[in-house]
Structure 1
């Protein structure tokens, strides 16, 4: 009888211990889940404006008061960053205009939440000074190196058409990255290089070139955009507003401290300060809301991409712009 009572007591005790461990584990898991839910994940690329925000600390201060922490995740280019956005690996990010157009054409879930100021001087079409080419018209039959669908590719298309040529009058050479572009241009495997800052500035500083699009107005603002995961935006529009507010504050600091920005970006990219200085000094930093004129310019670019076969179907940019 005593033995039975002792056995029953041990069983009861072990049940209490196991139950207690389960409760503690459950409490720890709940706390862990709660902590993960209070993290905002920001995607960035080296050299873009979110690098300045990352270093400034403005965002951390703003979100801390709301009970949120910030996690920064780096991406090689805009396409992979937006992929991270679709798959839920990040909540917010910054990428070029063409990346958003391609993503929407692929029916990916995201929303436009803001844009940088125009930077038309940050892209150009270059030729070697001794190439005997002094105008866009003279590119007929020549090879132009681009990254397919990039902002500089779009500028080159506009310039070609403005000169009375068609896109079939030149040979497009699609390269993989800015380094491959530079090599192809230096070794003269291509006749002209369409490129973008800071790599554009690097070619201008290091080589003797002519910018065939300099001083020309093709109606292209060359903006980059701020994108959010669609679900994150729908659930936390106030957090998106705070991120944009912090970004604009960081941008205003950048405008007033361009020497510091040059050092920051130079160290980050491993590019000489005089090159970064050229790129930084020909632009202004700020966040714009998604106004009608911005949407209209992005729509025009999307229509051109469809017409020349860069995207498979027509899209309406407004489908990805939240109604305020």
Structure 2
């Protein structure tokens, strides 16, 4: 069985069919580069990457053309990179682990480290009898399989002496999870920003007029695998020109985040326009999500290895993963 098929099987749950191979939609490019310029295929989510680079003026006069493809979450991005459908993208902590377990052809090339060390949350309606992770036992929880929120749920349950077998996970993509949460079809939702801020601020009418509550707000890095990564297609890294374009682009992302630390409001405005989310949501997230892009360190590898081991021990991946084997050093200082 091919790595592509294995990864699909790892990520597709009976509760929700995740359309991986067909999940990407090209945004803003016809797929052919301007004459004389190479093409760089960049995967994005509702992550604000395009807007931070645009608002910072970093997409002007590039030595390559960019083809943007938008995905619902990190797992289909890993599959697209492994299938040589994209060159580079940003994903959370868990997708590279699931990709490594499937033998997918990709590499981790840089770390994106959020300074607040808080990426994911477990939300419940205000008024719920769920007050902590321990109260999740027997509850129905929406979460994206193979995402950072999946890792957060796993670690939060472990911190309360529980396992995934003690709850009823509903493997749903963000839009489906939001709908289920709004409709009261699940008891809790494990999700990342900007969806956390959107839910806390704007789910109020559907869930409870007082809003949604983050029951893991104070746990920080102890249960939140907050590291994110720039990843690249293994095939793309073998092509000299594409490798240079990837290296240049990751440098732009680093510069963009440095600009965003001083200009969160401008980033928030651009992010709202790009994503369709309210500017009040994106501006709030931009203010608290200052990130630093840098090389993958031994500390980062150790943190990911702990998460990989937790996924394996929980039976969520079929074999142990050595995270260091999917790291490609040297692309960013």
TM-score range, shorter chain: 0.7 to 0.9
Return 139-148 or 75-84, whichever deviates more: 75-84
Distance 1:130-1:69 versus aligned 2 partners, 3 A rule: closer
231-240 vs 164-173, which moves further: 231-240
Which residue of structure 2 lines up, in the alignment, with residue 93 of structure 1? 89
Residues 320 and 86 of structure 1, relative CA distance in 2, 3 Å threshold? same
Alignment of 1:150 with 2:147, yes or no, is yes
Partner of 1:16: none
The one-character-per-residue Cα deviations of 1:104-158 (angstroms, maximum 9, x if unpaired) are 1111111111021135333111222212222222222222221112212211221
Gap change, CA 1:53 and 1:71, over 3 Å in 2: same
Residue deviations 1:182-207 (CA, integer Å, cap 9, x gap): 22222222111211111111111122
Q: What is aligned with 2:261?
A: 255
- In structure 1, C-alpha distance between the alignment counterparts of 2:138 and 2:33, rounded to whole Å: 60
Offset of 1:232 from its aligned partner?
Answer: 2.7
Unaligned runs of 5+ residues in structure 2 are 1-31, 205-210
**In the alignment, is the contact (CA less than 8 A) between 2:53 and 2:256 conserved in 1?**
yes
- 1:60–1:70: 8 Å Cα contact kept in structure 2? no
Within-5 A mapping of 1:95-110: 95-110=91-106
Distance 1:140 1:215 in 2: 20
Bigger-Rg structure (1/2):
1
Structure 1 residues 226-241: aligned runs within 5 Å: 226-236=230-240, 237-241=243-247
Aligned to 1:18: none
8 Å contact from structure 1 (residues 85, 228) kept in 2: yes
Tell me if 1:180 matches 2:186: no
- Aligned in 2, Cα 1:60/1:302: closer, same or farther, shift over 3 Å? farther
Q: Which has the higher helix share?
A: 1
Shift of 1:273: 1.3
Q: Using a 3 Å threshold, how does the CA distance of structure 1 residues 241 and 100 change in structure 2: closer, same or farther?
A: same
Residue among 189, 198, 212 paired with 1:202: 198
CA distance in 2, matches of 1:246, 1:294: 21
Give CA-to-partner distance per residue, 1:22-61, whole Å, 9 cap, x none.
Answer: xxxxxxxxxx999577333222223343542255452554
User: Counterparts of 2:257 and 2:190 in 1: how far apart (Å)?
Assistant: 27
2: CA distance, partners of 1:86 / 1:250: 26
The answer as to whether partners of 2:52 and 2:260 remain within 8 angstroms in 1 is yes
What SS does the aligned partner of 1:130 have?
coil
Q: Which residue is equivalent to 1:211?
A: 214
1:166 aligns with 2:163: yes
Once residues 157 and 284 of structure 2 are traced to their aligned partners in structure 1, the CA distance between those partners, rounded to angstroms, is 26
| Distance (whole Å) between structure 2 residues aligned to residue 34 and residue 204 of structure 1 | 43
TM-score by length of 2: 0.78
User: Which residue pairs with 2:228 in the alignment?
Assistant: 224
Alignment check: 8 A CA contact 2:55 2:266 kept? no
Partner of 1:28: none
Cα offsets for 1:272-292 (capped at 9, x unmatched): 111222222221122121001
Report if aligned partners of 1:122, 1:279 keep a CA contact under 8 Å in 2: no
Query: 1:131 pairs with 124, 128, 133, which one?
Result: 128
Corresponding residue for residue 13 of structure 2: none
Unmatched tracts of structure 1, length 5 or more: 1-31
**Greater CA drift, 213-222 or 304-313:** 213-222
1:220·1:297 contact (CA, 8 Å) conserved in 2?
A: no
Q: How many residues end up aligned between the 2 structures?
A: 288
Match for residue 6 of structure 2? none
Partner of 1:285 in structure 2? 291
TM-score, normalisation: structure 1: 0.80
2:44 counterpart residue number:
44
